[in-house]
Chain A
Amino acid sequence: MYDKTVRRRRAVLGLLVVSSLILLTVYFGESRGGALHSVQRGLLAVVSPIQEGASRALKPVTNLFGWVGDTVSAKGDLKDTRRERDAWRRQAIRNEAAVAENAQLRGLLGLDQSPKDLTPYRPVTARVNGQSPTLWYARIFIDKGTNDGIRDGMPVLGSDGTDEGTGLIGKVETAGSGFSVVTLITDASVEVTAINVQNTTSGVVAPKAGNPRDLILKYTSKDDKVAKGDTIVTAGTTSSRPDLDSPYPPDLPIGRVTRVDEPGSEAQQVHLKPFVDLRHVQFVQVLTKKVDHNRR
């Protein structure tokens, strides 16, 4: 009797482990239109409304905990904030001069399609109603989908409510009829071609696992001048081939350079702090239309 119980227990464990491994293998091997991916989409369509309801119902609880946490951390942040304010004041004075100069240059070049005006990209505003709990898969769930014109691969902008906290946060991974799953720029699967606003140095922005406030600008060369405080934005489409369109329009803000490791060498690594604190995003905008193939 005892032997039978032990054998059965081991058989069940073995079966479950083997099933998991088979699922892993099949999922990894199949395309996005495969059977397991379809099952995921189907279940998401069922779960999404429940999840949205739960998110709304539990919002007061989430806000309460958020308020407590913010109050505790606010005291510590005050000193840093004062220092930052002084730095920003100096920066603002410099920016005023730059804005005036920029307006003149835009007028001269006929660049009146300012990327800050996102209307041509038909932005759709959506509410965040869920978040991935793991440190590896950075995903959020939003309450708009294909019914609102959202499709897979569309860029997503967000704001964390701070003055500078607006910018690119990711792209649509899967869109259902009334929901979408957004993969954030902190997910290992997302890479964005980007340029340095100060001198048009280009590279690819990729995440660093485990730290949502640190991104890496890869593929810069030793001759590229990148300095702390430089602003990194999306590069848009750089190729003339129609099949190599970038999903991201040009000049969407991504982050600011915080430090450069081994500057001036081939191994230089540029670290950015994203403009948006991805842990505090409640509303997002999905850009549902490409303008001029997202070229600059």
Chain B
Amino acid sequence: MARISPKLLLRVALLGVLVVLLQISAVSQIYVFGTTADLTPLVVAAVGLLCGSMSGAVFGFAVGLFLDTALVQTMGLSSLVLTIVGYGAGRLRELRDPQAAIVPVLVGAVATAVWTVGFGLLNFLLGVDTPVSFLLLRQILSTIVLNALIALPVFALVRRWLGPFLPDDPRRRRRRAYTTGGLSPLSRA
């Protein structure tokens, strides 16, 4: 794992606090097609994709803990699910290093699905004694679609915020390879 500078750590911590406050204060009150966007899984997945699995998992845990505390929810619930989201996104980067423009959208959708379904399942395991409406499924799907739509700008913003301090940006590394005398893939043929 690449070493994380104190400046990056500070920026990541600030990002975590900001995203939770923004989510509770504003985003949760904006209804689009009957549902609201959820920035938390998107930002956790973005940090995982940019910084790796360990950083993603730790960030997910911290954001989840802050979210549970700020919302007076059962502590540990969001932490558990968001740790998995951050770790999963980080592992994707470490194993595949995907560069396609669509990656943030797909990762955002999957992260939101894991977050909403995982949170729901844990609630059932903890014994929420209430009938479930079919509308819940529709709400979950709507949230996934809405989050997928905003995943690209959210990912871009997170990369812009953390970019200058990231130890190893795959895109930067690839660009550098062409400009420092390495062979272009086209010239190999």
CA distance A15 to B22 in the complex (A): 29
CA distance A44 to B169 in the complex (A): 36
Verify if B130 is at the interface (C-beta below 8 Å from A). Answer: yes
**B72 close to chain A: CB less than 8 A:** yes
Q: A86 to nearest B CB, angstroms?
A: 26
A209→B133 contact, CB < 8 A? yes
A16: contacting residue among B61, B69, B131, CB under 8 A: B61
Q: Does A40 contact B (CB under 8 A)?
A: yes
Q: Which residue on A lies nearest to B77, using beta carbons?
A: A24
Query: Does A13 reach chain B (CB closer than 8 Å)?
Result: yes
B158 within 8 Å of A (CB atoms) = no
CA–CA, A44 and B134, complex, Å: 33
Q: Which residues of A contact B74 (CB under 8 A)?
A: 24, 27-28
Question: Do B79 and A20 have beta carbons less than 8 Å apart?
Answer: yes
Q: Is there an interface contact between A12 and B72, defined as CB atoms closer than 8 Å?
A: no
Interface residues as binary, A134-157 with B (CB distance below 8 Å gives 1, 0 otherwise): 111101010000000000000000
SS of A interface (majority): helix
> In the assembled complex, which residues on chain B have CB atoms less than 8 Å from the CB atom of A5?
1
Interface locus among A46-54, A117-125, A242-250, A284-292: A46-54
Determine whether the beta carbon of A27 is less than 8 Å from that of B76: yes
Partner of B135, one of A21, A136, A137, A210: A210
In the complex, what's the smallest C-beta–C-beta distance from B134 to chain A, in angstroms? Answer: 8
A217 to chain B, nearest CB (A): 12
B73 adjacent to chain A (CB < 8 Å): yes
Find chain A residues with CB under 8 A from B53 CB: 9, 13
Q: How many A-B residue pairs have CB under 8 A?
A: 161
Given A19-B61, A135-B140, A137-B73, A208:B130 Cβ within 8 A: yes
Residue from the list A40, A133, A174 in contact with B27, Cβ < 8 A: A133
A211 on the B face (CB < 8 A): yes
A residues near B (Cβ < 8 Å) are 5, 8-9, 12-13, 16-17, 19-28, 36, 39-40, 43-44, 47, 50-51, 54-55, 58, 61-62, 65-66, 69, 129-137, 139, 141, 173-174, 181, 188, 206-211, 214, 216, 279
Which residues on B sit within 8 Å (CB–CB) of A279?
29, 31
Do A20 and B80 touch (CB < 8 A)? yes
Residues of B within 8 A of A26 (CB): 75
Tell me if B120 is interfacial: C-beta within 8 Å of chain A. Answer: yes
- Known contacts A51-B21, A134-B119; A24/B80 CB under 8 A: yes
A280 closest partner in B (C-beta): B31
B24 within 8 A of A: yes
Q: Which residue of A lies closest to B23 (CB)?
A: A133
Cβ contact within 8 Å between B76 and A22: yes
Give, as a whole number of angstroms, the nearest-CB distance from B145 to chain A. Answer: 15
- Cβ contact within 8 Å between A40 and B75: yes
CB nearest neighbor in B for A56: B25
Determine if B83 and A13 form an interchain contact, defined as CB atoms under 8 angstroms apart: yes
Which B residues between 39 and 71 are near A, CB-CB below 8 angstroms?
A: 40, 53-54, 57-58, 61, 64-65, 69-71
Contact string, B1-26, partner A, CB cutoff 8 A, digits 1/0? 10000000000000000000111111
Q: Which residues of B contact A51 (CB under 8 A)?
A: 21, 24-25, 70
List the 3 closest A-B pairs by CB distance, nearest first: A210-B136, A23-B76, A211-B133
- Closest chain A CB from B126 CB (angstroms): 7
Residue among A19, A36, A69 making CB contact with B32, cutoff 8 Å: A69
- Output the least CB separation between B143 and chain A (Å): 8
Q: Is the CB of A135 within 8 A of B61?
A: no
Does the CB pair B38–A54 fall under 8 Å?
A: no
Report the bound CA distance from A250 to B24 in whole Å: 32
Can you list 30 A-B contacts (CB < 8 A)?
A9-B54, A12-B57, A16-B58, A16-B61, A17-B80, A20-B76, A23-B76, A24-B75, A26-B75, A36-B75, A39-B69, A50-B21, A51-B25, A66-B30, A69-B30, A131-B24, A131-B29, A132-B28, A132-B71, A133-B24, A135-B139, A208-B130, A209-B128, A209-B132, A209-B133, A209-B136, A210-B133, A210-B136, A214-B133, A216-B131
- Chain A contacts for B28, CB-based, 8 A: 130-133
Do B61 and A139 have beta carbons less than 8 Å apart?
Answer: no
Known contacts A65-B30, A188-B130: does B76 contact A44 (CB below 8 Å)?
no
A13 near B133 (CB under 8 angstroms)? no
In the docked arrangement, what's the CA distance between A211 and B130, Å? 11
Say yes or no: B54 contacts A55, CB within 8 Å.
Answer: no
Smallest CB-CB separation from A213: which chain B residue? Answer: B135
**The one of B57, B70, B84, B132 that contacts A208, using a Cβ cutoff of 8 Å:** B132
